[in-house]
Structure 1
Amino acid sequence: MKELTELTEKELLSRLAEAGGGREAILFFTPLCGTCKVAERMLQVVEASGQAIPLHKLNINYARELRQRWQVASVPCLVVVEAGEVQAREYAMHGVDFLFNLLKEA
């Protein structure tokens, strides 16, 4: 399974500005967080299904602006955005089936 694409905050802000309102999901993580690694593995399974919206990851240590704007309190945190606005903020990943349903394309 391929890893989620890690973006910098600047890259993500630029991508969201260019996306024109598409739905995307961003996993806020820290490198030493074991629970974040488990969440990322579950998201890799969802992404491998080929039915998921675009998924990325962002190191919360380097995302001050988005962390504040989107009110991310802890990691792991999966934020689903559409048109640059937060549609969902999940801290408990529950399982692959939960994530698949949350992230499947409409």
Structure 2
Amino acid sequence: MEPIMAENVFYFGGIPLAEYALPSSMKLVDNTVKFFDKYDAVLMANHGFVVASKTIDDAYMKLELAESYAQVVLNTEILGGAKILNQEDAKAILELR
């Protein structure tokens, strides 16, 4: 997902899209798990989000943030498209982490 909100850049750094595979399949696991060395949230194509965290409370917060971000992305697309943060701004936000 493109960086359009500073909060999501700060919390996630980015949210990659894992390629679709059948539910409960090892292919879905393989398509998703490879992103968790760098990211805390992954959007599984045609499934939804999965997040990783040290506590259940933090995982829940991340899931809520990811889902609200998806709603913002959808709404901005409906309204004509989002203004993407430039790389310089995204990098500066990541340095705050």
Q: Same fold (TM over 0.5)?
A: no
| Rg larger for | 2
The TM-score with structure 1 as length reference comes to 0.27
Higher helix share: 2
Higher strand proportion (structure 1 or 2): 1
Greater relative contact order structure (CA < 8 Å, 6+ sep): 1
TM-score (norm. length: structure 2): 0.28
